[in-house]
Amino acid sequence: MLFNFFNHPQSTIATPEIIPSWCVAYGKLDNLREDAIWQDEQFAVISSPQKLALSPTKRFVVVGDICLSNRLKKKKKLTFDLNKNVSNQQIIAQLWEKYNSECLNLLIGMFGLVVWDREKQLLYLGRDAIGGRTLYYTITGLTCWIAPKLITLAPYRTNDLDLVALRDYLCCAFVPGERTLWQDVREMRPGTFLEMPSQQLYHYWQLQEQVIDKNQPLELYSQKLRSLLEQVVKEYLPENQPVGVFLSGGLDSSIITALAAQLHTAPVHTYSIHFGTETANELEFSSLVAEHCHTQHHILEITFGNMWECLPETMLYLDDPIGDPLTVPNLLLGKLARKNVQVTLNGEGGDPCFGGPKNQPMLINSLYGSINNQDTLQAYLISFQKCALDLQQLLKPDIWQSLKNTSSVFFHDLNTDANYLNRLMSLNIKFKGADQILTKVNNLTQAAGLQGLSPLFDQRVVDLSMQIPPEYKLSGVEEKAVLKKAVSDILPDPIIHRPKSGMMVPVQLGFKKYWQREARKLLLNKNSAISPYINQDILRNWLDFKGDVWGRYGVKLWLLVSLEIWLQVNKSLLKK
């Protein structure tokens, strides 16, 4: 057994299979120990051959994880035989030879890629516009190591934590921006490419407000949105194969279910979860949608034992830690779906792109912040409802002193000239979308052997969302008005008009009734991975639920348990 954190006699945690990823080495290669499948003096690819392609003149080498939505259009414009199977890497290799880095503007889809120019001895790192794929690189030493999975870089980094990233994780439950939790590793940002050795960073796409005519009616935008959603979902459907949809019963996942059922000629499987009889669930709504759309519906009960025992495996599959309690359910649901399908769709992106209700506290602060002396950044961090208000007590005094005046990655975007709601939505798309939601979807579906796709986070949908006047997205208590209008004819009224509730994972009950003893052993151990940074006295109070007026300690404890286990499983890999 790989992970023996919980000492539970009935634990059945199996050794997880690490999914290998490609890796690139750039710079000094004298001591290269790995077997390279392609190598120049300063550049080597350690990968499976399927991830690599050369341009027609063999000047450019392309390696990467690439999923293009518009691959057929690009294939038709190039010199490929349409009847032959051509990889996405081959398409980009030919595009790069024709347009160089400008070809990134032509790509619609998800990718993290590396391009080596053999003639000019230049290296390019690029990531898709929205952040559907990840790309990491080391920033110390004479050799730069690059990979789509942070875990692949474990042999080439130290165990030193980036304290700013740690602070941001405690505030958000994910690590936003280019930092990772490891001090000597960085993450490429969406919509950018990096040129080496100059270290020049370029933005080939930037998320920005594009409202042109505020006088156009809601109906016009809803029609545009409906047409685009049908196009995107149709492109995402696997040809002549069944498709799965993760269906919570909320508006966003219900929309994707309805469109998939309407457009797909093969079976549509839907998957929902609940946490047993002790907790409320949304099965009434997910079952209503499944019946309305005539899908093959599957319901998974996730027990408190499942949640706890599967957490180490789940943390191993993530890049940076994610303290969202939905991580384990996402992995378990993916394993269930893999029995029927190879591709799953989800409703992620509806809230960030179309004005979900989580923006309402920030809108209220914009009206009344001057009264309570709460600045915008403070209000934004508090809106995550994690540990932003606890940092001074939670972090060790020396750690807090070193961080308290360090700037926030969110500051610039919070203080632009864009409409206030669009500023908030941009933040959620750029950071929560790329660094939590899409990373979680990508890593955990891949771990289950699936391809996970998020139509509402498609670049074209995101672009359109920023053209829609803010009042058509969130106005008062009415959220996502344009999205609801776009799909009102394909969903039952109770789904269109039900208030947003969100998938609530019962971690408060979990810690109070089921996990408290194990959590104490994990978090209060003097040799725990977080003990050099975290004040354990405050953790004792949280574990005893002293002063938990708002019922938030369970979420904070889950965030810290996830961090501790993530650190342990990642450090254990270096010992193998």
pLDDT reported for residue 79: 74
When the pLDDT of each residue in the chain is averaged and rounded to a whole number, the result is 90
Structure tokens at 10: 């009935």
| CATH number for 120 | 3.60.20.10
Concatenated DSSP letters of 327-393: HHHHHHHHHHHTTT-SEEE--TTHHHHHT-GGGHHHHHHHHHHHHHT--HHHHHHHHT-SSGGGHHH
Structural domain contains residue 515? yes
Peptide bond preceding 197 in cis form (omega within 30 of 0) = yes
In this structure, are 191 and 238 located in the same domain?
Answer: no
Contact 147, 562 (CB under 8 A): no
For residues 165-174, give the mean pLDDT: 98
pLDDT reported for residue 50: 81
For residues 13-34, give the mean pLDDT: 77
In this structure, are 230 and 174 located in the same domain?
Answer: no
Does 224 score more than 70 pLDDT?
A: yes
Does 373 score more than 80 pLDDT?
A: no
In this structure, are 183 and 305 located in the same domain?
Answer: no
In this structure, are 135 and 239 located in the same domain?
Answer: no
Spatial CB neighbours of 406, under 8 Å, sequence gap ≥ 6: 164, 167
For residues 303-330, give the mean pLDDT: 96
| CATH number for 473 | 3.40.50.620
Structural domain contains residue 177? yes
Q: Which of 123, 113, 122, 117 is nearest to 188 (CA)?
A: 113
Does 576 score more than 60 pLDDT?
A: no
Q: What is the pLDDT of residues 481-523, one digit of tens each?
A: 999 999 999 999 999 988 766 568 999 999 999 999 999 999 9
User: Which strands form 43-46's sheet, in the order they lie side by side?
Assistant: 38-39, 43-46, 23-27, 143-147, 136-138, 185-187
pLDDT reported for residue 478: 76
pLDDT reported for residue 502: 59
For residues 311-322, give the mean pLDDT: 95
Pick the more confident residue, 447 or 11: 447
In this structure, are 61 and 144 located in the same domain?
Answer: yes
Does 2 score more than 60 pLDDT?
A: no
Share of the chain above pLDDT 90, in %: 77
Q: Compute CA distances 349 → 164, 225, 253, whole Å.
A: 27, 14, 10
In this prediction, residue 571 has a pLDDT band, given cuts at 50, 70 and 90, of confident
Q: Which of 431, 429, 435 is nearest to 320 (CA)?
A: 435
Structural domain contains residue 404? no
In this structure, are 484 and 513 located in the same domain?
Answer: no
Structural domain contains residue 114? yes
Q: Which of 491, 477, 560, 472 is nearest to 522 (CA)?
A: 560
In this structure, are 459 and 514 located in the same domain?
Answer: no
Q: What is the pLDDT of residues 273-303, one digit of tens each?
A: 999 999 989 999 999 999 999 999 999 999 9
Of 130-139, 351-360, 363-372, least confident by mean pLDDT is 363-372
Does 29 score more than 80 pLDDT?
A: yes
Structure tokens at 161: 């934590």
In this structure, are 94 and 239 located in the same domain?
Answer: no
Q: How many domains does the chain have?
A: 3
Query: 3-state secondary structure string, 469-532?
Result: CHHHCEECCEECHHHHHHCCCCCCHHHHHCCCCCCCCCHHHHHHHHHHHHHHHHHCCCCCCCCC
> Can you tell me whether residue 423 is helix, strand or coil?
helix
In the DSSP assignment, the letter for residue 216 is S
For residues 301-311, give the mean pLDDT: 97
Q: What is the pLDDT of residues 465-476, one digit of tens each?
A: 999 998 898 766
In this structure, are 118 and 161 located in the same domain?
Answer: yes
pLDDT reported for residue 325: 96
In this structure, are 169 and 290 located in the same domain?
Answer: no
pLDDT reported for residue 420: 84
pLDDT reported for residue 12: 35
For residues 188-216, give the mean pLDDT: 93
Integer Cα distance of 422 and 534 in angstroms? 35
Q: What is the pLDDT of residues 252-268, one digit of tens each?
A: 999 999 999 999 999 99
pLDDT reported for residue 376: 86
In this prediction, residue 1 has a pLDDT band, given cuts at 50, 70 and 90, of very low
pLDDT reported for residue 73: 73
Last residue of a domain, one of 497, 517, 537: 497
Q: Packing angle between helix 163-172 and helix 553-573, nearest 10 degrees?
A: 140
Find the domain containing 516 and state its range. 507-573
In this structure, are 179 and 269 located in the same domain?
Answer: no
Last residue of a domain, one of 151, 180, 203: 203
Last residue of a domain, one of 438, 471, 497: 497
